[in-house]
Amino acid sequence: MPSPHRRSSEVAVPGEPRRFPLGAVTLEAVGGSVVGDRYPANFDVLHVDPALPFAAVADGMGAGEGSRRAGATAMESLVAQVRAAWPEVGPRQLRAAVAHLQSAVRAAGAGLAELTGCTLTALLAEPDGGQGWLVQLGDSRAYRLRDGLLELVTVDHTAAWLGVLHGWYPADSPAAARARYQLTRYAGHPNEPEADLLAVSLRPGDVWLLCTDGVSDQVDYHLTRELLAAARPEQAVRDLLDATLTAGGDDNATAVVVRVHPAASR
């Protein structure tokens, strides 16, 4: 049921799906974003490219001008670099794109007396559709639903991830909750760290979810899997974002759903 305190302006309405014929597969992608009830504005940034098989989400760190600048600058830079390199897609081009956006975000925050940083998760398919590339900085996420199994494909670049993985504290402990806000890699980091680059296959029937932590922290695994499996991409996005509001709307929430169809699918 809808949250009783939800503002009508926050009801999730994703954009129209875009279709990208690529060799043996066709990708169908759509994204959406909601403010939620905690912040006065949306510091997430969403991109579903109108011409290329490319989508990304970014999540600003904090709720100030540094957060806004970081997300906008990182996304603008990545989009420009991907478009300039296309149709060449691979580690060399993507590492150069990430290095460029790191410098751009650092420059955007040079005159601010506050943190200028954001997370970034992107999916870019190669022109023949046989393979895709994930770009990962921070704790936004990429999930894949394949043959009924929903898997988290990316790693969170946080102290919490390291602590839970190595048994420093339980996943539901106060220490883990605090460590969720300690990012080890992000766009705008002083050391300009590299992103994780992951080569992934794109099989007919796969459903990919790119999301900020406003989705992954508020919508549990089982509901996420159910919504991705049962609905068309635009409805899945709408339902996921609606679920974040029902859960309390404690963060900006952004989701992109990409479904992989056989090339002949209509």
Top-confidence residue, 130 or 14 = 130
Q: Are the beta carbons of 97 and 85 closer than 8 angstroms? A: yes
pLDDT of residue 176: 86
**12 belongs to a structural domain:** no
Q: Can you tell me the mean pLDDT for 12-40?
A: 90
| 10 confidence band (pLDDT: 50, 70, 90) | low
Q: What is the mean pLDDT of residues 98-124?
A: 97
- Determine the pLDDT at residue 179: 83
Give the end-to-end CA distance of the chain in Å, rounded to a whole number. 33
In-domain check, residue 3: no
With respect to residue 7, please indicate whether it lies within any of the assigned structural domains: no
Indicate whether 142 pLDDT > 80.
yes
Instruction: Give the HSE-up count for residue 47: Cα atoms under 13 Å, Cβ half-sphere.
Output: 27
Q: Which domain holds residue 104?
A: 17-262
Reference 188, options 42, 64, 48, 33; nearest CA is 64
pLDDT at 38 over 60: yes
Checking if the pLDDT of 95 tops 50, the result is yes
CATH code at 35?
Answer: 3.60.40.10
Does residue 114 have a pLDDT over 90? yes
Is pLDDT at 9 greater than 80 in this prediction? no
**What pLDDT is attached to residue 231?**
82
> How many independent structural domains does the chain possess?
1
Q: Does residue 65 lie in a domain region?
A: yes
Judged against a pLDDT cut of 80, whether residue 5 lies above it is answered with no
Q: Which residues pair with 132 in a beta bridge?
A: 125, 200
Q: Which residue has the higher pLDDT, 214 or 14?
A: 214
Q: Residue 130's pLDDT is what?
A: 85
The CA distance from 111 to 30, in Å, is 35
Q: Which of 74-88, 121-135, 160-174, 226-240 has the lowest mean pLDDT?
A: 160-174
- Alpha carbon of residue 230 to chain centroid: 21
Residue 1 has pLDDT above 60, yes or no: no
Q: Taking residues 240-253, what's their average pLDDT?
A: 96
Whether the predicted pLDDT of 7 surpasses 60: no
Are the beta carbons of 233 and 30 closer than 8 angstroms? yes
For range 195-222, the mean pLDDT: 97
Residue 116: inside a domain, yes or no? yes
**Does the pLDDT of residue 265 top 80, yes or no?**
no
Does some domain include residue 2? no
CA 119 to chain centre: 8
* 6: confidence class by pLDDT, cuts 50, 70, 90: very low
- The total of other beta-carbon atoms located within 10 Å of residue 174's CB is 9
pLDDT computed for residue 177 by the predictor:
86
Whether 180 shows a pLDDT value over 90: the answer reads: no
Q: 222: Cβ–Cβ under 8 A, 6 or more apart, which residues? A: none
pLDDT score of 4 more than 50: no
pLDDT in the model for residue 220: 96
On whether residue 11 sits in a domain, the answer given is no
Average pLDDT over residues 239-252: 96
Of residues 159, 60, 77, 36, the one with CA closest to residue 112: 60
Cis peptide before 87 (omega within 30 of 0): yes
Classify residue 22: in a domain, yes or no. Answer: yes
